[in-house]
Amino acid sequence: MHIHILGICGTFMGSLAVLARELGHAVTGSDQGVYPPMSTQLESQGISLMEGYSADHLEPAPDLVLIGNAMSRGNPEVEAVLNRNIDYMSGPEWLAREVLRHRWVLAVAGTHGKTTTTSMLLWILEQAGFDAGYLVGGVPKDFPVSARLGKSDFFVIEADEYDSAFFDKRSKFVHYRPHTLILNNLEFDHADIFENVEAIERQFHHLVRTVPSKGLIVRPAVDSHLDNALALGCWSPVQDTAVGSESPRTTDWRAELLSEDGSRFMVIHHEQPVAVLKWEQTGLHNVHNALAAIAAARHVGVTPDHAVAALCRFSGVKRRMELLADVGGIKVYDDFAHHPTAIQTTLEGLRARVGDEPILALIEPRSNTMKQGVHQQTLLASADAADHVLWANLNDMDWLSALVGQWQESEPDDDRHRVEASVDSLIARVLEDLPTPCHIVIMSNGGFGGIHGKLVSEIERIHS
């Protein structure tokens, strides 16, 4: 069968392409403005990519078109699919029908940390010899591709609350029917499709409804929005997690920090110490992620001590505080953070690790929610752990310039926050006064105009 995918370079649709190819289908796809790592992965799999959207891409006609949720009516390729009566469906529906049926699905949902937690859980199962299938919304460093079928009954999946397609407004994760479900957290996001956080709670409740009574839900002990979602109805056992004393009551799983940056901690199960986890990851958010992955792995038979041993060897995920370069003590990182909470936890984790060494954050507010200015009340404060913050106003957002302008008026002696309108001006600003050592964190959920390679090249040039 020839399957053509619209929006193929998105992390989810690109992973579907890998699975379809492994199933033996001929796979092609279209996308606008492709960029690594997904484009590189697809090309290495022998999947043909077409730039832009055109009715010509559907000649000869494919047997099936999978339409990504970024596609809308008016897109020339979408219109051609409809007018020519070509068979089509959403990515999540195809995945559920062709891959997930009759498998034990372990799903990871939440506003933050889905990709990392999914990768952690997958790595634990891999080290235990499970040969699980998986789909990760990114590229885990410990695996060559972002998805595979696997040979066991188990399938690990990153479960996104975003809608499935323009013709299917259900959240993607409702299609997956997990037996084991991790709920990382719940905050307001995706303002382009959700009116308020209550609407997201309702979608999470729909997901909870699909978990069998013999299944398991793992969640943080302290999260009021998850409380609300579960209060709408829950028919499955629930285990909770906590770090230190953040929960006023006893929890099923707890971590006691042995290092402030989260790089060492004791895992405790039912108040009994299990083992010390020492790894290269930082931040309290990753400690929470690890506890959830350990709990979920135990549900399918991996003992907590073996799970901890596996995570001690966990390499992480591309674009999650990925170290791109170290030029004479100037370290450049790539991070996917696209929400104030993610920005805050990531930078605080780095601050705990590097102490007083300077941190410079380059942040592109790129998600639909960010571009609408929904989070502007908490945005500047989310970067407090950085010494200097350059905000990329590449889409000419008036609210961002006004927000930083108000800061500069109220804090005339503090030049922590600045706005730049182009990648070139951002790089020029960085190079004006670059201390050594220092840590430069590039934060965006997109390609950020290719700033990563350009900045590293300029730093290497001036330090050569």
Q: Encode pLDDT of 37-94 as tens digits.
A: 678 888 888 898 999 999 999 999 999 999 999 999 999 999 999 999 999 999 999 9
pLDDT tier for residue 352 given thresholds of 50, 70 and 90: confident
Contact between 341 and 187 (Cβ < 8 Å) = yes
Q: 411: exposed, middle or buried (C-beta count within 10 Å: 0-12, 13-18, 19+)? A: exposed
| Residue whose C-alpha is closest to residue 389's, from 360, 369, 368 | 360
Q: Which of 97-106, 245-254, 362-371, 441-450 is predicted most confidently?
A: 97-106
Q: What number is the average pLDDT over the span 237-264?
A: 94
| 264-269 and 272-278 beta bridge pairing | antiparallel
Does 115 appear as a known binding residue? yes
Question: For residue 183, is pLDDT > 90?
Answer: yes
Does 180 appear as a known binding residue? no
Q: How far is CA 177 from the centre of its chain?
A: 20
Tell me the C-alpha distance between 410 and 404, whole Å.
10
The pLDDT score that the predictor gives to residue 150 is: 96
Instruction: Look at the alpha carbons of 248, 288, 243, 361 in this order and tell me if their dihedral is positive or negative.
Output: negative
Does 110 appear as a known binding residue? yes
Determine if the peptide bond prior to 60 is cis (ω within 30°).
yes
For tokens 């989260």, the residue is: 262
H or E segment at 265?
Answer: strand 264-269
User: Could you give all domains of the chain from N- to C-terminal order, each with its CATH number?
Assistant: 2-91 (3.40.50.720), 102-311 (3.40.1190.10), 322-462 (3.90.190.20)
The pLDDT score that the predictor gives to residue 371 is: 65
Q: What number is the average pLDDT over the span 439-449?
A: 88
Q: Encode pLDDT of 213-238 as tens digits.
A: 999 999 999 999 999 999 999 999 99
Contact between 146 and 41 (Cβ < 8 Å) = yes
Q: What number is the average pLDDT over the span 2-17?
A: 93
Tell me the C-alpha distance between 96 and 99, whole Å.
6
Tell me the C-alpha distance between 156 and 158, whole Å.
7
Q: What number is the average pLDDT over the span 289-305?
A: 97
In percent, the amount of the chain with pLDDT more than 90 equals: 65
The pLDDT score that the predictor gives to residue 397 is: 83
Residue type, 386: A
Question: For residue 362, is pLDDT > 90?
Answer: yes
Does 463 appear as a known binding residue? no
Structure-token pair, residue 130:
């499970």
Does 303 appear as a known binding residue? no
The pLDDT score that the predictor gives to residue 299 is: 98
Give 65's strand partners: 4, 88
The pLDDT score that the predictor gives to residue 146 is: 87
DSSP 412: T
In the predicted model, what is the mean pLDDT of the chain?
A: 91
Q: In what order do the strands lie in the sheet with 64-67?
A: 48-51, 26-31, 2-6, 64-67, 88-90
Angle of helix 224-231 relative to helix 197-209, nearest 10 degrees, comes to 50
Name every residue whose Cβ is closer than 8 Å to that of residue 291 and which is 6 or more positions away in sequence. Answer: 241, 243, 253, 254, 255, 267
pLDDT tier for residue 35 given thresholds of 50, 70 and 90: low
Q: Encode pLDDT of 302-327 as tens digits.
A: 999 999 999 999 988 777 888 899 99
pLDDT tier for residue 416 given thresholds of 50, 70 and 90: confident
Lowest mean pLDDT among 68-72, 184-188, 276-280, 396-400: 396-400
